[in-house]
Structure 1
């Protein structure tokens, strides 16, 4: 049984709470646990309260939290604070729970800027082992990544989240210079002649990966410092920096090229030839463009002649005076002349001549030759100061945006005709190359030029419908330009090669074969001797064809070939000859290269010709044996079914209607025709017009019905066929 004073205390809850609190503070409650030496007495049943206004001091209880430590270490386990290039490191996390014990089998997540770092595994997560340690591999995102970054770490231990992280610096891998060399490699003792070029290749890597940029790369040479050579860097492609080295007549015999990048330095030597007489360059003409008009067609700002200027240079590219220069034209077609044929360079090395037009449209170049101290040089004129590759026959094409324009009954309908050309390497030819166009009907090109000048390898002219209109509506367009005949460059030197030739200047015994000047007698590379073009206005025509290519018969006789025939109006364009030649001149060289196409002046009155499908899938035209032309059998009556109508559409000349003309089913009664396919006339010059078909859905009860076919030209003219009836 409790003592009396304890019974009183438990009978009063307030006193009990006070006692418990005081017990916690190790203070006597109800006379128990007091200070034996004290003089203060506590009356049982009377609460003990602190002095009013004085708070009771308490110590807050802070819950324990999990902890982690984060380290970045290298492959040897040593702490690091940076990563660079392809270097990899490990992020090591040690996880403790709230009681300070290791926390195994917990998921740890790692995140960082993906442009600077990447994790392995890519999930960016790892599991703590029995020691509470999680490890993940990290490395720079690329060899060029650089900057400062924080790796953020998040984990959960004992149901509580803990965060951590570590900062590090990411540096790009250093650039490394590989072994430099000329491509192709130069033979021992091989000399690069004056104004010749060689290509130097410089390998650059970063962290064993091909570099995409090379800041700090420097390239120079002894001759470039002298001003007698140039070094022109190209693009850095897949870690390979290409450099074009040009010998401008260096006098050192051997040039040393130095390439530097960071702490790397390399040198390479090249033997260079001294320039003697130098070179002759085409400067330009007195024309705003490059076009002169036919003889007798001058006036109103149009010129029949042009002054061409060349410049003779010495080995240091300085004008050389007092040099006799002779001039020859690459063609004399139509009586074209060059005057004077010989002139002397002035104090600046300049020399001029005049080209006067003939009576036949043609592009022309002028060859300038100069001799001094036993050396002969030559230069070829162009509308550009320096030209690149010449157009070659195999890389010339001709096309139009429409091969059937609404031009039979209307003037000024337009087809845009485009010519594209490239050299033997497939590169677009020089800008401002002159192309001539001629046509048997309508009008083509502009009043200032009977053709166009190329830009980016091609140019476009307009063919306009007007008189003259061929009776059959089919118009041939011919484009021709001065270029080179096809050949196979067996030795890869970029020019036609011939071991047995006749020099244009017999006294010039030291000059090697010049393909556009000298005559190859035998043994030349395989080539095609190009015949002369002609404007084909006869029985046959080529549709987007090549010279001598596939033909489309206008005449019903299939034995006829495409041949020049002046008696029926064919118009020839001989090259350096007085008459048309189908076989060429017997050797490779400059010639007219050409393409032709056929464009239809279409009528706008359609004729609808019904067709039937043969067993082999081909189509044939309706005949009287097929029954009434406008009755579609099986579309009505007993056991009727859906049917398909085949037909073609032609104009008055059996040619297609104008391109863009729409074709639709109209005026339907009971039966339901679908959409016509194709529903528009395409761009085509096909004889026999265009073929179409339409599916017709029968009437539910097989009742007779009807519908028509309707055409609407781009000018808005609509015509419907007679009604097709179900039968």
Structure 2
């Protein structure tokens, strides 16, 4: 008898065939008691014995489904993916039933998720033919419809629903450009005047239907590219694009307008007239300020010329190109020139010229003038100042805020040294003129530069006390700069008139050029031949005013100390030739000019030197012949009276104490010293120190008394000198 599972198998022959065909892959086919989802491992060639009570695995049976294919084809039956404009296509559906057979006579329903398409028939349905094919016509809803869309198809076959679909792109019909023309029509010979307007009509269709939009439409012209015409599109109405054309004074005479749309291009010409000049405006110059320097004084950031810009405008204040403009100066004093004298305005109406300075300071304006269509217009520049030449020796000065700093015993005491310069006309020299400083003692200027650059005609550096310290405590500061030697401008032309030039380049035939060439001294206008500068480091001192002290006055001749003496350490500056020449080079021209100042490194230990006034009113130092130096005669005893004490104060080198040192009365007994005058050491480098006086009031009963005079430096060091009263000389 057959096993039960074989009885079931033979009871269903089809299943037997299926199981036989799958015997190599499955342990069992059908049957009850399987293990859904389980797995089984079988060794090839080894019989598998079912384990009692274990379900046999089975393969799920998937029911067959009907199938549908969807295509979009053109009139030739070729597959397509897009429709545009009025183009129609067909949606073709092929339907198979669940057994894979063609499914005739089935209804297929077509739908879309957008309004871009329309179906024919409008019902959107079709019946499959004997080949299982259903076809429906589709086209864009309008010539302007555009976008992406999906077409879905739904049908029933073998009693089961089946669906499909296809995506496609919908494009608008291409735009077409019609014949363009002006309205009202005009011929090319007819001139549109400046700032006149004309209306251009541009027909545009899409699929032979008036276009509602015209993306990609471009309109330009030769004059609009020049900036002398404007093109302003209006609204697109019923396929007609209106454009307003305005002539802004085009210089071409005839303008060509080009209209482009896709692959379409059209041109039309129109006659245009030039604009009249409305005004000429002064725009400005290339200067930071409003002045240029005198001819020959340029360099170092100074400009001898300036570019002036004007703008030619039409009646509507629009830049007018192609206008010839002439330029003239309101004065040519000193040889001032304007170049070019004529220029043509550019596309924006701008036109430029250059003013070059002369040799005499003067204000000047430039007149710009132009003519168009019989109308002449002129414009005037702002005032330009021709001023500021090179520094001249006579207008150079050097000063300090203190000539006696507390630097003999201390480092870093500071004197601020200022140089001021002007040109031959007394105008401050140009900013950023470089000035060099050197000194025999201490340190001057900054680490970055051994000098300074001028601002508003001057500049300031610091002299700092430190080693080296001259033995006499007197430090010379020398400032020098390139400038011109003193001269008298007899003919008033602003330059040195030369009789015998010395060319800078012997091969250059150019006539005498002031400040470039030199002039043989004595052949031209009256001038001073500047000797070489030198750093005065000798032991003699520059004496300013009355030095005080009879011995010093007799022994020192100030004139000798201004003479160069290498034996005592004087140094020529700058080192531009082999030897020092006090008389100069016997030439007039560009040279070094300089000034010097003496600044004292003062000590803080005072010496009080009593003085007396002689019959002529002069002060002299006290001597033993005048009596005891510390006793004020007549301040006590019979017939006593108030007395005046005269004295001077010096440091160890017979120099003034530091500026700012106070001088006052100290302790007193019986007698009453009044305020000292002056009571503060001024800024001075006076050899022999400073002179003072104080009124001493006697005691009421002429009793003898004492008092003191003391100094207090800015650093707070105080030193006193005592005096006593005494009877009058018999």
TM-score by length of 1: 0.48
